[in-house]
Structure 1
Amino acid sequence: MTRHIFLDDPALSVSRGKPLSAEPGMGALTLGGFLEEVVARYGEREALVQSRIAGSIERWTYTDLHARSRAVAKSLIALGLGKGERVAILMTNRAEFLSSVFGTLLAGGVAAPIGTFSTQDELAYLLSLSGCSHLLFEPAVLKKNFLSTLWRIDPTIENQTPECFQSDHLPFLQSIAMLGQPSQGAVRGWDDFLDLGRAVSDTRLAARAASVTPADPAVLFFSSGSTARPKAILSAHQGVATQMWRMGRQQGLDDGVRSWTANGFFWSGNFAMIVGGTLAMGGTLILQSTFDPVEALELMQTHRVSFPFAWPHQWEQLGQASNWNDVDLSSLKYVDQSCRLASHPTVRTHWLEPRHCYGNTETFTLSAAYPAMTSRDAAGDSHGVPLPGNVIKIVDPVSGQTLPLGEAGEIALKGPTLMLGYLGTPLWQTVDENGYFRTGDSGHLDAEGRLHWHGRLNDIIKTGGANVSPLEIDEALRALPEIRISQTVGVPHDSLGEVVVACVVLHEGNLLDEASVRASLRAKLASYKVPRHVLCFEESEIGMTGTSKVKSADLRRLAIMRLEGSGA
């Protein structure tokens, strides 16, 4: 096997990737520069395809994407966006999401995508945490009406004008614009928003874009972590652009790949792997705003998708869709042999996905990996080797001391894609004295410098590809009058990876009504965070530590036994 890593000391758990300068295919290291470069290469190629209302199809070339992004940038400049100010973008996977993100970056701002799963409480918290000065949003997503949600967060929005807008509830917010509807109250319609930028000159926009450096902040993504609330993770242009350029090669994608996913671009992995991986290869994004398996298969057939990207539970739903036997999926190429789509009679595939990999939102996705087409024989059961520029070490979770090679401990890492930091948290609290980020994950390094991930030290639940903080759910549960103790755990599930299960102890004299508990949580939490099961225990059944904390590993085993016994 060719060694692509270097062990600093054969006795210690420290593995170093190739120098970043040795990585091929890097382009501009600002995201505005990334867009300019792919437009220069692929100008009139199709960048995206989107289904509109009444079945119409909208297609943007790379030149169109550039022009639409510049229009957004000019409007933000007209509204007074300063360098480094944040723009919240609350949208599904649609053309305007991309033009809003790139427009923000061209104008010198920081793009802050917000998940469309957000409830009213979550949206208010994220807007407050991020301190965004502008909000661009899609007013309705499935059953959610975000315009009404904003009015409930701050009732004065409905009765103000855009020109005089001020919010005591969101004191940094200066303007709001929405897609698809005329201006209402303080909220501008999209056409009115774009009209603002017509007076901004090309020269001024060019000067803005030229002032942005690779070290400047570029994006703010949100992730559930070891705290009860989502964390706001700020990343620099260089880190994100590096991942955008490398992801096409990492996945083995060819020139002109045609990619589909319905998973939100407001998650860093989807943004880097799908948006970056596709555009860097001159490919086309087939956009689906929300996942519907029948529609997804039709899109794959109609638009000759070659690279579908989904989570395990979505693969299963595609295989059970009513039109499964009727569609022609022969265009699919980048489908792992273990994937449900590989069993379709029209699919012929020999592709192996880059399954041997490890990453975090804090490193804007992958920090260790083997590329696509790497066999189990070559990678073993590892999660890859450090990507160029990265250094990974394994430390004692308590002392922080580097452990001997092969011993399990906490994964710590540093490199060019590491975040600038969490909003509201000093950097010294998130990295050690040598600049390593402590991930909260358990793992070890082998003699080849390969990383082996064991699990999460902080008990984060990964369900259907999304990270869920148990503490956030427990905070909501404990606010319910009948619940005295709550500990949420992840229980293994065949297609979702894990499902969220709440284990509770009730106040004396109360009875558990699981349906009403779940209904109460739906008003406060995104749908994927609502527990699939709520299990009631006696306090004596729940193992406690010496500091009166629930032993989550023991409780997880108890929950699995309870569910197996009930046939759930």
Structure 2
Amino acid sequence: MSGPWADGVRRWASTGRRALTTDDAPPLTYRRWVDEGDALARALIGAGLAPGARVATLLPNGTELLTALYACARVGVTAIPVSTWATGPELRRVLDAAQPDLLLTADTVPGSPRELPMGAYIWGETTGPALPLADLLELGGRVGDGAWLAAVNAPDAGSDFVVLYTSGSTGAPKGVVLSQGAVARNAALIADRMGFADGERVYTYFPLFFSGGLCNALSTTVAVGAELVTQARFTPAGAATLIHERRCTARDVWHDGLARVAAEHAFTHEDLRRMRRGLVVDAALLAAHGAVDDLGVDMYGMTETATAFTCGHHRDPAAVRQTTQGRPLTGNLLRIVDPDTGRELKAGEQGEILVRGPNMMSGYTDDTHLALIDEDGFFHTGDVGSLTADGHVRYACRTKTMIKVKGLTVQPEEVEAVLTACPGVRRAVVTGLGAGHESSGIGAIVVLDPGTAPAEVAAWCRRELSSYKVPELRSVAEADFPLSASLKNDRLAARALFPTLPAVP
């Protein structure tokens, strides 16, 4: 026995099932995942690591990252998946904060050998301070059966599994500690709500070093013994080919994340109709491909709740699945309160979302979570939302993203929704303008289709929004649109970028 996340992987080892397919390496079966993961886990013990030690991984989506995650979970070592997109200074800040005992990387990570601390091992060609992984694996041969059994029996549901650093779309990244039990249990509940079943093949482009990839995409497929289909580096053409060739039956993507893939020649109407389950995608895309019986669901959650805290059910009516974030997962409690008075609000009233449940993080690495938990044990999320009469959550926005203009409050998500509903607008991010506590106005950075005039977009906004919500527009190319590392709108970057862009006619 090991912790529940590692045991979840081991459960399928005797089946011969495929666990992972990428476009740049041979497929990984659950059997090989366990065999290679156990060898690495022995090596970690041989290197002197004990439960509670920390191993950082600087690895893209692929066999190496899955092997490292399983090996750590198997013997109770905490994994710290680090973004391969991190720049040198970003990487150094994370590693300095995490203080790992050892680091695992690969020669496919650009420039990584120049940034690695001592105690680093690398898959592939070695340069700089990193040692070949074979040197680490040799240490596993020194571990006797008694020491091995003691190591694999040490982890339990409460053992730290990972420390994930949030994307920091509204502030500096934080280290979020999640237990094996929280991640494994939550993933099983999400898989059930999505209707995932035996034999599922799930496509995702989410990086597995972020919560959406690790806690949701990867861990839900493990929960049902399914196959995860992904890429080390996302390209729409590569994704379309993988989805078509593997005949994917489900997807774990952002709501508009399939639009670029669906535009590829290799992607067919049948591909989308076959991928009926998973996260909700834009209704217009479903209609264009004739996917009339789609079962996609929406969810509400965050890294601190191992992704979903609430989730729609695949058997809910389409109108409910596409307009709400579902009900709390089993065992979770949620309140909507007035942020000023703490008074619990009625259905339909909008306030701050408070959460409590078994999928909650163990805490932040700097213990700042303690100030966000009230006397009843509820975590104050800083999110704004409401409940429907039958208990479904409707998420509105982050309190920290609300924009105040001349004493009036504007939710950027509302303005973004109006903008993206405008014909010819591909993307939109909204931010406050100027410095100080109150903004001097509203700004929007948009990506427009060829031939779309900014004046048409401005006229649309004047028709659809109150005058104080109408944004000043700036247009950029798709490649220059400000996104966070987890592919969400980056409002901090947008605020800095806006004044550098020319006014649109």
Q: TM-score normalized by structure 2?
A: 0.77
- Which of 397, 401, 406 is residue 455 of structure 1 equivalent to? 397
Amino acid aligned to 2:229:
I
Deviation at 1:232, TM superposition (A): 0.6
Q: Secondary structure at the match of 1:115?
A: coil
Distance 1:389 1:278 in 2: 21
How far apart in 2 are the matches of 1:328 and 1:358? 27
Following TM superposition, by how much is the alpha carbon of 1:395 offset from its aligned partner in structure 2, in angstroms?
Answer: 2.1
CA distance in 2, matches of 1:30, 1:360: 21
User: Runs (4+) of structure 1 moved beyond 6 Å?
Assistant: 325-330
Amino acid at match of 1:265: L
Taking structure 1 as reference, are residues 198 and 291 closer, same or farther at Cα in structure 2, changes over 3 Å only? same
Instruction: Tell me, yes or no, if the aligned pair for 1:440 and 1:456 is still in contact at 8 Å.
Output: yes
Residue identity matched to 2:97: L
- SS at 1:197 equivalent: helix
| Residue of structure 1 in register with 2:54 after alignment | 86
Cα distance in 1 for residues equivalent to 2:252 and 2:95 = 29
Q: How far, CA to CA, are the matches of 1:205 and 1:343 in structure 2?
A: 54
Question: Are residue 261 (structure 1) and residue 224 (structure 2) matched?
Answer: no
**CA–CA distance in 1 between the matches of 2:402 and 2:3?**
32
Matches within 5 A, 1:70-469: 70-141=38-109, 144-148=110-114, 150=115, 165=118, 175-182=119-126, 184-225=127-168, 228-324=171-267, 332-334=275-277, 338=282, 342=286, 350-355=293-298, 357-378=299-320, 381-459=323-401
Please tell me whether residue 63 in structure 1 is matched to residue 31 in structure 2.
yes
Q: Give the letter aligned to residue 42 of structure 2.
A: K
Matches of 1:451 and 1:328, distance apart in 2: 30
Q: Secondary structure at the match of 1:235?
A: strand
Question: Structure 1 regions of 5+ residues with no counterpart?
Answer: 1-26, 152-156, 158-164, 166-174, 462-488, 506-513, 538-561
User: Given the superposition, is the C-alpha separation of residues 205 and 349 from structure 1 closer, same or farther in structure 2, using an over 3 Å criterion?
Assistant: farther
Identity among equivalent positions (%) equals 27
Equivalenced residue count is: 442
- Quote the Cα distance in structure 1 between the aligned partners of 2:151 and 2:426: 44
Q: 1:112 to 1:323 in 2, by over 3 A?
A: same
- Contact map agreement 1:259 1:285 (CA 8 A) in 2: yes
Distance 1:240 1:129 in 2: 23
* 2:12 paired residue among 38, 62, 70: 38
Offset of residue 89 of structure 1 = 1.3
- The residue aligned with 2:453 is none
On the 8 A contact 2:255/2:281 being kept in 1, the answer is: no
CA shift at 1:388, angstroms? Answer: 0.9
**Structure 1 position 405, deviation (Å):** 4.9
Q: Which piece of structure 1 moves more, 129-138 or 30-39?
A: 30-39
The Cα shift of 1:115 comes to: 1.6
Alpha-carbon distance in structure 1 between the residues aligned to 2:391 and 2:300:
14
1:414/1:320 CA distance change after superposition, 3 Å: same
Residues 185, 28 of structure 1: CA spacing in aligned structure 2 closer, same or farther, 3 A cutoff? closer
Aligned with 2:313: secondary structure? coil
Work out whether residues 260 and 300 of structure 1, in 8 Å CA contact, stay in contact via their aligned partners in 2.
Answer: yes
**Which secondary structure does the structure 2 equivalent of 1:407 belong to?**
coil
Cα separation, 1, equivalents of 2:164 and 2:486: 19
Could you give the per-residue CA deviations for residues 198-233 of structure 1, whole angstroms, max 9, x where no partner exists? 332344233212111212221111114587310111
Q: Contact 1:239–1:364 (CA<8 Å) still a contact in 2? A: yes
8 A Cα contact 1:87 1:109, kept in partner: yes
Structure 2 equivalent of residue 16 of structure 1: none
Corresponding residue for residue 450 of structure 2: none
**Residue type matched to 1:122 in 2?**
E
Determine the structure 1 residue equivalent to 2:23: 51
Distance change (3 Å), C-alpha of 1:378 and 1:340:
closer
The one-letter code sitting in structure 1 at the alignment partner of 2:262 is G
Residue equivalent to 1:499: 429
The alpha carbon displacement at 1:193 in A equals 2.6
Structure-2 change in CA distance of 1:378 and 1:408 (3 Å): closer
Indicate the SS of the match to 2:203. strand
Q: Judging changes above 3 Å, is the alpha-carbon distance between structure 1 residues 412 and 497 closer, same or farther for their aligned structure 2 residues?
A: farther
Question: 1-side partners of 2:214 and 2:262: how far apart?
Answer: 25
> Quick one: structure 1 residues 138 and 500, their matched pair in 2 at CA, closer, same or farther if it must change by over 3 Å?
farther
Amino acid at match of 1:425: D
Q: Distance in 2 between matches of 1:69 and 1:330?
A: 36
* Cα distance in 1 between the residues matched to 2:347 and 2:282: 33
1:275 and 1:402, CA in 2 relative to 1: closer, same or farther beyond 3 A? same
Query: Quick one: distance in 2 between partners of 1:196 and 1:280?
Result: 31
Tell me how far apart the structure 2 counterparts of residues 232 and 68 of structure 1 sit (CA, whole Å): 28
The CA deviation at 1:322 is 4.8
Secondary structure in structure 1 of the residue aligned to 2:310: strand
Matched residue of 1:438: which SS?
strand
Alignment pair present for 1:536 and 2:502: no
Work out the CA distance in 2 between the residues paired with 1:190 and 1:344.
48
Structure 1 residue 135: deviation in Å? Answer: 1.2
Deviates more, 1:78-87 or 1:528-537: 528-537
Q: 1:313 to 1:210 in 2, by over 3 A?
A: same
Q: 1:104 to 1:410 in 2, by over 3 A?
A: same
Q: 2:214 and 2:106 mapped to 1: Cα distance?
A: 18
Deviation of 1:234 (Å): 0.6
- When normalised by structure 1's length, the TM-score is 0.69
Distance 1:109 1:536 in 2: 46
